[in-house]
Structure 1
Amino acid sequence: MALTTKTVLLVIDMQNIFAPMVKSAMPNIEMLFSCFDSFGQPTIFTQHGHTKEELTPPFKNQLVRKWGPDGSIAKGSQNWQLMPQIEKLAKNKPIVAKNTYDAFVNTNLDRMLRDMEVERVVVCGVMTDCCCDTTARSAFNRGFETWLVADACGSANTKQHEAGLKGFGFAFGNVVQTKETIGMLSKQWSASP
């Protein structure tokens, strides 16, 4: 695994609605954040939600069509809010509002990463096989070296979580663990002038 220069931590959709899915991943996400923060490396958060207009027929958003308005996250709702421990971490950090699985679609995320001269994207959060995997694949397809942190992601169940990791690892970027990620990056950043 080649180490490049500028790396960003991308924390996907750590919102109240998904809290049960990331109980075991939460400490690892916090460790990753602490590592990036202690070395002055950037972290970007995403927050998934739909406007009142998107939740009103006729549904123009594909996800609202798939899940229906009751199965979609309304912007401003309690479910839409970042989890309390994530809200603390996200203070003074960029938060990308998104309305589809891919955090690059309908957002300025690509421009943000290009402006920051990012070369590597480390992805964690929820759901492994939906927003994390889709966004990580999109980062890979845009030319970023992409790591998906297995034990810092969560999904509806183990089968879906493992399927997301397997598909991503087969054809896209690297599937890594939190301690491995912190070890490699800390070594690189400590050696930088």
Structure 2
Amino acid sequence: MDPVSRFLREYQRDENELLGADRLRAPGVFEGEREFIEFAERDYTTDKHWAFEIRPAECALIVVDMQEDFVNPDNPMCVPEAYRQVPRIRSLVECCRSVGAPVFYTEHTIAPDVAHDFYEFWPPIKAGAIAEGKPGSKLYREFQPVDGERVISAKHNYDSFAGTDLDYALRNRGVRTLIISGTLTNFCCESTARTGYFLGYHIVFGSDVNATDSALAHDATLRTLRRGFARVMDHQQIMEILRTGDAPHREAVAARQG
């Protein structure tokens, strides 16, 4: 068994081992603590599709950092899962174009005067990956913005809003709901989703159009966003809602949840 599969198997726990059953039976455990943890576990895995309605006229798609250095298999910081998700993200882009939902792309770029301390510990960045103005920092070649689609290229942080004009551009287009896709799930995509939520946007987070380098990290982001920040769904569900409306999807979810 490969190391990742072994780790995933060891990570999984049955319901009697939730956060360590022995610890929850130990002296000092609060009355009702197990029930509280079980409630939280259910909440982390329950998509709250009733939280807000997705209206295509109020939506924008954010394609986060799908750049040559992050996506191209020949480049030093390639995220393999991001490369595999290109066709799905492109389908989502085309769907948004067809319903008139604007598309925004971000490019994470590094320059000496806008670099954080942590970057110096990443050898590819020290060697020039995603350097400002270099080919590797540009959108991956399979993404070709059309007229009216904005590229946010002055992004020097995980958060697509920090120090950029993204919020201004979104509000100028009357956007109320952000559909988040791209890479890395647990860094730039999650940071963008959280700040979007803090700024008052509704957040839709694509479970299969956000990519990272760890299955556990990806799942942790989905769990946290699902519980308190976003409606989480796959790209097929997102496209169906954009094309046919949200009511049928929400009614189907309500029926399944009783």
* Structure 2, unaligned runs of 5 or more: 1-48, 72-79, 247-258
- Give 2:29's aligned residue: none
1:101-112 paired onto structure 2 within 5 Å: 101-112=158-169
Residue-by-residue CA offset, 1:106-155 (whole Å, 9 max, x unaligned): 00111111111111000001011110011011111111110010111110
Query: Which structure 1 residue ranges, 4+ long, deviate > 6 Å from structure 2?
Result: none
Residue-by-residue CA offset, 1:138-179 (whole Å, 9 max, x unaligned): 111111110010111110122222122112112211111111
Rounded to whole Å, the distance in 2 between the matches of 1:183 and 1:51 is 40
- Give 2:89's aligned residue: 29
Partner SS for 1:149: strand
Higher relative contact order (CA 8 A, sep 6+): 1
Is the aligned partner of 1:95 residue 2:154? no
Which of 114, 121, 126 lines up with 2:183 in the alignment? 126
On the 8 A contact 1:54/1:64 being kept in 2, the answer is: no
On the 8 A contact 1:63/1:100 being kept in 2, the answer is: no
Is the aligned partner of 1:64 residue 2:119? yes
- Give 2:107's aligned residue: 47
> Of Structure 1 and Structure 2, which has the larger fraction of its residues in helix?
2
Identity of aligned residues (%): 25
Number of equivalenced pairs: 182
Output the aligned Cα RMSD.
2.0
Q: TM-score, normalised by structure 1?
A: 0.86
Q: Which amino acid aligns with 1:16?
A: E
On the 8 A contact 1:7/1:41 being kept in 2, the answer is: yes
Q: Which amino acid aligns with 1:12?
A: V
Larger radius of gyration: 2
On the 8 A contact 1:13/1:48 being kept in 2, the answer is: yes
1:12-27 paired onto structure 2 within 5 Å: 12-19=64-71, 20-27=80-87
Partner SS for 2:107: strand
Change in CA separation of 1:63 and 1:187 when aligned onto 2, cut-off 3 Å: farther
